[in-house]
């Protein structure tokens, strides 16, 4: 925004019918144009332009235009009270310019309404209230409060997790301010996350994305908390570990688990299986209500209407209810009202604990190796598969099995709520046994070797490529 320039001006300077441009040119050339001036006293204003909006405020004083010095912006000595008026106007202009400078210094918002208020207070003798520059952490708390009004609780948990990492960073490094959100901070925070917190690259990337979201919010805030745009260059290093999901056999074993009277494990089994057959996030599954399940128009099938929120926008996702999912719904919806939650009384912690127990019980215990990275360091875990299974596994199971069974990615993303096929890729796992079988089949039929009439192996490669 351009700097605001303040000046004095008169209300009705010239006699009606005067060629104003000509009169001004003559005045600038030093000619006497008193005969063109309005002979009556007229109001003196303080004026300016703020973002192309014209502002003027009456000072409460009047003067004849012939008694006003338009070059020096003050009354001529021939004006009867010229010393008193000159002192008043100078004092008022000093107050206006001082209070405007205070706003600039504090990075406070500046618009026509605020500037008009400054002029009015200066003319009435009031002092402008100095607005204290808000701290980094005060802004972060305001950010959390605002986001909590229209964002999922799971997202707020992530923002709080990032805050915890930032608080720890500040304790061991330096005090955080918006001015310090530089590329140096970016480097220091990554080193702290890797060396002190032992965070994996994906966790560091998530924290950096959350920090960028906060700083972007602070930049567009009406009070312009943040004017440092270095954060736009922050980048995370995302690794894509192989997704862990249940194959068809493992899913059937999980479905058939006998809870042996344990209501907690029975409910955990049903929630997880319902997730596997709908492909939705655990937060959405735990918040589904009876009224969200309805019959598909012109058909006997049912669907779940889920309103997903992306940023400040909500849009509906229509999830077909498969037979196994419908059987679970029928059991849980039997004695509840339309507005009631379907799956109650199960926390995320208890759910994930039970899922691991059930997976171990039904022998989902293939030894697998999970590889992640912390910076360039390879972090490898080799354990039975049940150790890595949780509620997040269900969504990956739905997506992976659906694709293996012939669903097109474009169809699938309309059910899962992903905005692109690329966004869905971290959830897609490959069935290795089927992959190996298909590869051998294709190569055995069409690949490197065929047998000739005498039964000898004959290469199908071009002769030039044979060694």
Measured in degrees and rounded to the nearest 5, phi and psi for residue 288 equal -70, 135
Residues 120 and 180 in one domain: no
Residues 155 and 201 in one domain: yes
How far apart CA 100 and CA 103 sit, in angstroms, is 5
In a domain, 442, yes or no: no
pLDDT of residue 154: 80
pLDDT of residue 105: 82
Q: What is the CA radius of gyration of the chain?
A: 36
Q: Is 323 exposed, middle or buried (0-12, 13-18, 19+ CB in 10 A)?
A: exposed
Residues 175 and 259 in one domain: no
pLDDT of residue 73: 93
Residue 395 · residue 427 · CB < 8 Å: yes
In a domain, 466, yes or no: no
In a domain, 434, yes or no: no
In a domain, 455, yes or no: no
Residue indicated by tokens 């994906």: 202
Residue 70 · residue 96 · CB < 8 Å: no
Last residue of a domain, one of 233, 257, 286: 233
In a domain, 463, yes or no: no
Q: What is the pTM of this model?
A: 0.58
Residue 454 · residue 447 · CB < 8 Å: no
Nearest CA to 259 out of 391, 386, 361 is that of 361
Helix segments in 125-152, DSSP class H: 136-148
In a domain, 444, yes or no: no
In a domain, 131, yes or no: no
Residues facing residue 75 across a β-bridge: 68
Last residue of a domain, one of 97, 124, 151: 124
Residues 262 and 355 in one domain: yes
Last residue of a domain, one of 73, 93, 124: 124
Residues of the chain with pLDDT under 50: 127-130, 448-455, 457-467
Q: Is 180 exposed, middle or buried (0-12, 13-18, 19+ CB in 10 A)?
A: middle
pLDDT of residue 417: 84
Residues 252 and 391 in one domain: yes
Residues 229 and 253 in one domain: no
Residues 52 and 85 in one domain: yes
Q: Record the tokens describing residue 15, joined without a space.
A: 């006699």
| CATH number of residue 283's parent domain | 1.10.443.10
Residues 148 and 116 in one domain: no
Domain that holds residue 393: 248-427
CA atoms within 13 A on the CB side of 42: 18
Residues 59 and 146 in one domain: no
Chain centroid offset of residue 245 CA: 29
Residues 97 and 144 in one domain: no
In a domain, 433, yes or no: no
- Write the Ramachandran bin of 231: left for phi over 0, alpha for psi from -120 to 50, otherwise beta: alpha
Residue indicated by tokens 């002092």: 127
Residue indicated by tokens 């400054």: 118
pLDDT of residue 332: 95
Count of residues for the chain?
467
Residues 104 and 177 in one domain: no
pLDDT of residue 230: 93
Residues 387 and 336 in one domain: yes
- What is the number of domains present in the chain? 3
């Amino acid at each position: 925004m351009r700097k605001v320039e303040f000046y004095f001006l008169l209300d009705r300077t010239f006699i009606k019918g005067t060629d104003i441009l000509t009169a001004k040119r003559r005045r600038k050339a030093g000619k006497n144009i008193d005969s063109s001036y309005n002979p009556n006293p007229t109001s003196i204003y303080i004026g300016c332009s703020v973002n192309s909006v014209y502002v003027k405020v009456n000072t409460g004083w009047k003067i004849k235009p012939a008694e006003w010095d338009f070059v020096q912006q003050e009354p001529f000595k021939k004006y009867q009270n010229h010393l008193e008026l000159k002192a008043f106007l100078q004092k008022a202009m000093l107050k206006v310019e001082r209070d405007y400078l205070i706003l600039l210094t504090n990075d406070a918002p500046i618009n026509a309404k605020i500037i008009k208020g400054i002029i009015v207070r200066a003319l009435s003798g009031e002092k402008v209230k100095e607005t204290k520059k808000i701290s980094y952490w005060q802004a972060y708390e305001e950010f959390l409060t605002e986001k909590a009004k229209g964002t999922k609780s799971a997202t707020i948990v992530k923002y709080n997790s990032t805050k915890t990492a930032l608080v720890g960073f500040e304790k061991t490094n330096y005090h955080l301010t918006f001015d310090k959100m530089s590329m140096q901070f970016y480097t220091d925070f990554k080193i702290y996350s890797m060396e002190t917190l032992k965070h994996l690259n994906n966790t560091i990337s998530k924290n950096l994305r959350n920090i960028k979201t906060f700083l972007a919010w602070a930049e567009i805030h009406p009070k312009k908390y943040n004017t440092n745009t270095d954060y736009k260059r922050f980048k995370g290093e995302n690794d894509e570990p192989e997704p862990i999901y249940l194959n068809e056999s493992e899913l059937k074993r999980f479905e058939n688990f006998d809870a042996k009277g344990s209501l907690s494990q029975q409910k955990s089994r049903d929630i997880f299986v319902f997730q596997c057959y709908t492909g939705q996030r655990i937060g959405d599954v735990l918040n589904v209500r009876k009224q969200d399940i309805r019959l598909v128009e012109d058909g006997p099938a049912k669907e779940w209407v889920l309103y997903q929120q992306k940023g400040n926008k909500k849009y509906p996702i229509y999830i077909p209810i498969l037979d196994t999912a419908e059987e679970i719904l029928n059991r849980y919806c039997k004695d509840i009202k339309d507005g009631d939650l379907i799956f109650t009384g199960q926390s995320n912690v208890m759910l994930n604990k039970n899922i691991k127990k059930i997976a171990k019980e039904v022998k989902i215990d293939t030894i697998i190796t999970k590889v992640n990275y912390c910076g360039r360091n390879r972090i490898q875990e080799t354990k039975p598969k049940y150790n890595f299974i949780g509620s997040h596994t269900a969504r990956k199971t739905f997506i992976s099995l659906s694709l293996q069974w012939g669903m097109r990615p474009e169809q699938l993303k309309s059910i899962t709520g992903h905005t692109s096929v690329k966004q869905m890729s971290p959830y897609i796992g490959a069935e290795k046994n089927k992959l190996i079988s298909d590869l051998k089949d294709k190569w055995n039929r069409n690949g490197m070797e065929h047998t000739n009439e005498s039964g000898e192996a004959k290469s199908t490669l071009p002769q030039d490529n044979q060694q």
